[in-house]
Every structure is written in C-alpha cells, then in structure tokens.
Chains A and B, each alone.
Chain A
Amino acid sequence: MPAGFLLEFAVKDLTAPTARRSTLVTAGAVGFAAAVAVAGFGFVRGVERGERAAILTDPLVFGLFADDRSPVDLGFGGSIGPDDAGRVLDLLRGEARAGTVSGVYPYRRALLSTAQVDLSGRTVAVGPDPDPLPKSRPVVWGRWPAAPADAGVVLTPAGLFRLGLKEDARPEELVVYVRRVPLRVPVLGVTEKSLPNPAVSFLITEDYYLDLHRRAHPDPLVKSARSGPIPDEWLDDGRLRPPVRDGVVATFPPAQFAIKLRSQGGLVLAVEALTPPGDDPRRLKVSDWKERFQRVRQAAAAAKYPAPDDFAAPRFDEPLPPGATAAPPEAGVYNGLAAYLTESDDLIPAAAAMGKYEMANGDALRVDTRSTDQLTKVGQQAARYRTAMGWVVGVTAGVIVVLVWFLFVLRAEQQVAEVGMLKAMGMRRLGTLAVVQGLMVGGVGGAAGAAAGLPVTAPLLEWYTPGAPAGPINWDLAAAAALAATAAGAAACWTANLRASRLSPAAAIRFAT
C-alpha cells in the first residue's frame, strides 16, 4: 500500500464522524496518563532539587565540620597543626569534582557557657550566663565548671541514680549519647542535692565560640563568606557584622544583625543573630535570622546597595588583595577544620575522605555528619517519592493502556468485515496501518498530555513547599512521556488489530456476517 494512501486512510478512519468520539476518548486517556507522568515525576524532581538546593543554602548543613573530639580536648586543645588544613584540602580536592571545594579552614572552639542536658542528650536550657545553681547546689565532690575554660558535667544525686550508680559513686567520665553518637564526657563533680527540674540530671558545658582562622566567617546563605583582611568597621567585638550602610541603615541598624558562630547542645556548629539593644532581648532562632537577613537583602537591593558578591574582601577561594597578608595559622590553637563545598553531590565523598584524615597527633578527624545525613535523607526521600510516583503513574498508565487497547479491539472488531474486503482487494500492511493509527493517537494524545502536565508541576510544588522556586521546565520528562505514550498507543493498536489482520479475507467477511 502506498505510504500516502496509508496515511490518508489512517487519518480518515480515525476522524470519521462515527469514529471521532472513540478517537478522542482514546487520545484523551493516553494524554491523561502522560500528564500524570509529567506532573508527578516533575513534582518529585522539583522536591529533590529544592531539598538539595536547601542544603547548599542552609548554613547549618552546608559545610563539613570536623574536629578532634577526644574527651580530654573537648572544646580545647590544639591538635590541628598548621599544615593540616592544606593537606585536608588536597585530600578533598582529590575526592570531589574540580572547583567544588571552596576551602578548608582551621578553627578554634572555646567554651562560652554551660548547658543543661537531660539523660537523653536533649538540651534543656542553654545560656551564656553560667547557671546560677552552683550557688544553691554546692558540690559534695569535685567542682563546678569554670566557664569558659572548663569541660565536663556535674552530676546530681538523681543523675547518679538514673545512671545506675550508687549514691557515693565518683565516676571520672560518662558516656553520653548525643544524636546516637557516643560522647565520653568528663565528670567534674557531684552536687549535694538534685536540681529543681527532675528531668535535668546533669549539666554539660556545651557552648562554644568559634574563632575561624583568618577571621573569616563563612556565610553561604548570603554568599558573603570572606577571607583575608576584613575592614575594621565590619567587626563588632570580634564578630562579623554584615556591611549594612547608607539607606539600609535607616531601616536596619547595623547592630541588629551582629552574627556569631556557636555550637548548640547537639555539639554542632550553629549560626545565630543577636538582637539590637532595645529590641526583643531573646535570642533569635536560625530561621528568624534567615528571615531577617532576607529582609536586609531586599532592603539593600532596594537601596541599590552592592550585591554581596561585590563586597570588597575576597572570598575564601580568591587570592588576597595586593599588599594584604593573612595571619599565619598558629600551632596548638585550632581543634577543628571546616570545609566548604559548592556542590551537594560532593558532600558525601568529601566527608568520607575527611574522616580518614589522620592528624599529627595520630587521631582521626571526627566529621559532623549533619550535612551528609541531610543529603542522604533527601536522596532516600526522593527515591521513596519516585517509587511512589512510579506506582501511581504505572497503575494509571496500566489501566489506561488496557482501556485504550480495549477501545482499539472494539474498533477492530467493528471494522473486521471492511478489513476483510480491503484484504480481498489485495491490501497488505494492515499491521502497519494499525501501528500508524496507534502512533497518531498515542502521539497526539501523549504530546497534548505532556504539554498539559508541564504547567501543573509548579502549582504542585508551590502547594508542597510554599515559596519554593519552580525550577526549569522539564522538557526531557515531557519528551519521554510523549514518546512512551506514542509507543504504548502503537503497541496497543497493533496488538488489538493482530487478530483481524491475521484472518483470511473470507474469514474476516464471514466474521462480520
């Protein structure tokens, strides 16, 4: 059969007044499946993309932090040698893709205050001011910590009881599980009587001030991580202050956003903002800080303030300005290393490499796994979503393929006599005709459905995560869905017509009569 006649025949057969409705239903069903696939998988992809992007923009989880956490050196020591940062940097650059490791910097952690922690490791209270309890709860053994230069816990009689120890026990250290990580904590003393809050069984010194080498405070959220000499006016009592000036000052006085880095009860580095005098004196949560900083950035943009990338000081990975010198690392001061990466995919191999590094004193670095855990969690969640969406799309597509196949079978059976007559006239390639018709129905339906599914992704993501960016248009998904729909349509139509096309002309004509 000539190709032109075959195409004309196929189109007229599909669009004849008696066939139009079933053609529309068939194409519509195929399109619905394609739309579900595009919207569903686009949604899952958008969620994963957003979660991964959040890892790179959230200062809590962006960097890799590793330190020497021997009980003796808890918060002290200086086991990181001057050359360790360079070696770890080389190590990481060997593991990660080129250019994705911004830098590795030593830091020193120093105690700021104590925290009250219960037996499960949960921080009950934390504050810069040492607990007033020492005045009312004298120790019967040992001493209270002398912040900021002391580390360890003070047990209460209730704490001894809960730990299964006798009242007169005097343990020198405890193993405390914080986020499932065992931590050996020195015992500084035992109080005479229990604390007023029965849930609190001991105190632990757990608040650190971090002094990053080169006095630079990485801040990936605002991309203002700086290194090298920092202008004096940027510093406020040793802490970085965002360079808010001119028109922005009227709205947000600089003191409002003084930032410091500290660890929280979970022994993990955190970022916190201080409120200005006269404002609410309570400490801000990180989320509040983010929100406020976003407002600063918006105000800065409105006031035509230079974008963060235009700030004068170089970033970590940039060379120092001519004439500027960085303070050389001091030996015996630093007890941690912070690494910064620009690609979330490299966090896990970099963390593994960092954990294998052996310091000069023979100890291995202990890597904070928060960022990698977060990344793994995102990956696992995305995999679960993909699997669930695969089932949804698979079941939908399966039902629709059966429906479409059934509609094609009905059409084939209705036309079997005419097909018999066509064969009597010498027509061959009826299988090709069926494939062409399936391609047309599947192609048109699939393309329309895929196109309809594309704009659905953004509202779905907005519903799931309000404010999340929609991301790029998933053309590849749409193309794949349209192709799959086309192939499914062709296969369904071909198989549905197999029986009719295999009948002899006489049998086909007899079948109808």
Chain B
Amino acid sequence: MTAPPVFQLRDLTHRYDGTRRRPGAVALDGVSVDLHPGVTGVLGLSGSGKTTLLNILGLLDDARLTRGQVTYHPAAGEPIDYAALGRRGRASLRQAEFGFVLQSALLLPHLTCRENVAVPLALTGVGRAVRLARADELLEAADRADPTPAGGTPRRRLVDLRHARPREVSGGERQRVAVVRAIAHDPRVVFADEPFSNLDPRNTGEILDLFRAWLGGGLGYGRPDRGRTLLLVSHTVATTIRFAAGRCLVVRDGRVARNPDGPPLAPDDDALGPTP
C-alpha cells in the first residue's frame, strides 16, 4: 500500500501491572504492524490481547508501554508518538480523532438518546442548539442508511427515539445510538470492541450498515474522507472477515499471528487457528 498507515506499531510489548517479585503477565509481545485506513478486523481467542491492543491504540489505558513504539499518523500534520503524549494530549486526541463503540452501549442514563449522540459535539464546543440539530440529522441519516428490508418487521426509527432515555429503548437500539454517538463528530478512527456480541443477526447487520455509511461518508458530514478507519474486534469471525473484506489482524498469545496486509482471509478460513 502506498497510503501512509494510520497506526504504526513497532515491537509493541505490554505487560499487565505486577510487582517487582511477580511481574504482570505479558499481554502483547513484540507486535509490529501497520494499520491502514478502512476496515481492519482484529481477531483472536479470548485473552489473546485484542482488547489490550485496542486500549493502547485508543489511548484508553494510562499505563506506560513496557517496550516498543506506537505512532499515529493524522490526516494532516506530523505523526504523533504516543510516548510523547501527556494526559491532556491523550484526551485531546481521543476527543478529536477517535470514536468508541464497546460491548455495552454505556449511554449516559440521564440524557436522552439525541443528547447522548450530541455529547462528542458538546465536548468540542458546539453550541447546544446546533449540536442537538446535528444529532437529529445523524439519527435520521442512520435510519436512512439502514432501511427496513422489504417484508421485514418494521422497527422503530432512531429519530423517533431521540427524546427517550436509554433505559426506555431496547439493547439493539441502544447500541445503534452508541454507534451514532461514536461517529457523531466524524472521527478519523472508530474502535469497535465486540459491538454486536449481545445482538441478534438483524441488529448486527444494522450496526454494520451504520459503520458502512460512516466509512462511505454517507451520514452527511460534508467533508472529504480523511481516511476513516474502523478497527473492529469481534468473535463473530465470519461476519468480521466478510465486513473487513478479509483484511484482518489475528492476535494469538499477544503476538501477531497474521498481518492484515497479507493475503485476504476468507470467511470460512480457520482464522483463529487451533484452540489451545
């Protein structure tokens, strides 16, 4: 690939916190990989280090790296070495460049769905009226991006749920709102860690539709693609391989078992390898 990578990982090694006598277990061991714009699936067995990798790349873990280097290449400007970032710099980078979708939607219970979607905009200083209007637009765009299939059971539109609080909507709807929230400020990178592990196939499909619309700039952001990147961690291997068009990073025991820049995986490949 000629385009510069979004993330450049070199000899990334990370141990969990431990004591001097009993050092923490190795979570990542000598990971060197380039992650490019677009969708990259992150696959691996439980405990293989996928979430640790995402936490490090997403700056969610304050612990220092044991060894190695992570460099983020923004769409414009100088590359950013994670080791040089302070607490404030990490928060600023997360706020401006990243979005997160986790296994649990983690919507704020005291805000309505539209207010939840508007939170990332509020954090960047967008005024209340503007950000709420933008949240409504995003919810409508999300509904358009994921129309009810012909003959399917009609589902509630997100825009109709905008005044509902999270506890008043279903799990699938919560997760869809969480996806819209993650992409509301049009981040460069979205980290999705098991976003549909609790969802049925239909809701999974809707979540993927939303990601697809965001990646394609179809949610009305009105600005060119800056190299939108989705790092998708999932145990739903075939779905992930299919969505990532075979570009997957496979992690096994904290090491890179398969580089995403290699030949594409097929959905029916035994991507995770033998179960230990």
Q: Which residues of A contact B (CB under 8 A)?
A: 1-2, 4-5, 8-9, 12-13, 15-19, 417-418, 420-428, 504-507, 509, 512-513
Contacts and interface: CB of A to CB of B under 8 A. Distances in A.
A12 B110 contact: yes
Contacts of A8: 128
B85 interface: no
Contacts of B63: 504
A4 B132 CA distance: 14
A296 B109 CA distance: 72
Contacts of B102: 421, 509
Contacts of A16: 109-110, 165
B74 to A, nearest CB: 15
B123 A427 contact: yes
Given A425-B94, A425-B120, A2 B106 contact: no
14 contacts: A1-B123, A2-B122, A2-B123, A2-B125, A15-B110, A19-B110, A418-B106, A421-B102, A422-B119, A424-B60, A425-B95, A425-B120, A425-B123, A505-B61
Nearest to A19: B110
Contact of B119 (A19, A425, A505): A425
Nearest to A418: B108
A18 B109 CA distance: 8
Contacts of A13: 108, 110
Contacts of A426: 91-96, 98, 120, 123
B260 interface: no
Given A16-B109, A426-B94, A509-B106, A504 B60 contact: yes
Nearest to A502: B62
A422 B100 contact: no
Contacts of B21: none
Contacts of B236: none
A500 to B, nearest CB: 14
B106 A421 contact: yes
Contacts of B246: none
Contacts of A15: 110
Nearest to A423: B91
Chain A CB within 10 A, most for which of B91, B110, B125: B110
A17 B94 CA distance: 31
B55 interface: yes
Contacts of B93: 426
Chain B CB within 10 A, most for which of A19, A425, A507: A425
Contacts of B61: 504-507
Contacts of A423: 91
List of 7 A-B pairs having minimum Cβ-Cβ separation, nearest first: A426-B95, A16-B110, A504-B62, A506-B60, A421-B106, A5-B122, A505-B60
A425 B122 CA distance: 11
B235 to A, nearest CB: 16
Contacts of B91: 423, 426-428
A428 B88 contact: yes
A1 B125 CA distance: 7
A424 B128 contact: no
Interface string B100-142: 1011101111110001000110110100100000000000000
A477 to B, nearest CB: 35
